[in-house]
Homo-oligomer: A and B are copies of this chain.
């Protein structure tokens, strides 16, 4: 069947006959933005059970209940790529969480580097951005957003089978696309971008010696942190990700024209 224009992420299990609630913001969206009434059809997903058709059963100020009916799409996971990034200022970090989600990133890991100017990260806010972007872009999963951690700690605990592509403006580094094309076969990956001040020479030197790290370049221009992260994710998806898949159905294009919860 065609996809539904309205998609919401919920925490609860989704099974035929279940009745689930939505959060305050989603209820407001259904009632006051979309002005839906009882019986309206909505798509629900929780990152585990696929996408389900649900009917709006009860609706009040700040609450809504939905009757789960039948599964529309089987659960699928986004390609296995993570984004490790040095936190940047608010408008840009919101944009980054949204775009990384649209670009199919499975996990977002804020990392504190030597020149990172931001001291705190609103992880809950990033999670909300990721959830809303997932609703919007028709993903069936929502990226995990980790709490920030120091670079040294992140590297110590790094899973060695996951290739870490560090975007470097300094020294010699092959173009990211070439590094990916050379890879024998796709493997779990992560792209890492530094703060606006770049990585410290010592940070790059340390990482360059790690067996799971590949330093890569993104061309001759000095990209902002957020631009570098998005470019790297887009290139990874194009070479090793799911870029050959198509959106679930023509109708889903309307999904992109909706006002999003963030508005």
Contact = CB atoms under 8 A, between A and B. Distances in A.
Interface of A: 91, 95, 98-99, 102-104, 115, 136-139, 169-178, 195-198, 217-224, 227, 230-232, 234-235, 237-239, 241-248, 250, 252-257
Given A172-B246, A252-B169, A230 B220 contact: no
A243 B103 contact: no
B198 A256 contact: yes
Q: Chain A: interface secondary structure?
A: loop
Contacts of A227: 98-99, 102-103, 230
Contact of A176 (B102, B178, B219, B243): B243
Given A177-B238, A227-B99, A219 B256 contact: no
Given A246-B172, A248-B220, A256 B138 contact: no
Contact of A222 (B137, B232, B237): B137
Contacts of A241: 219
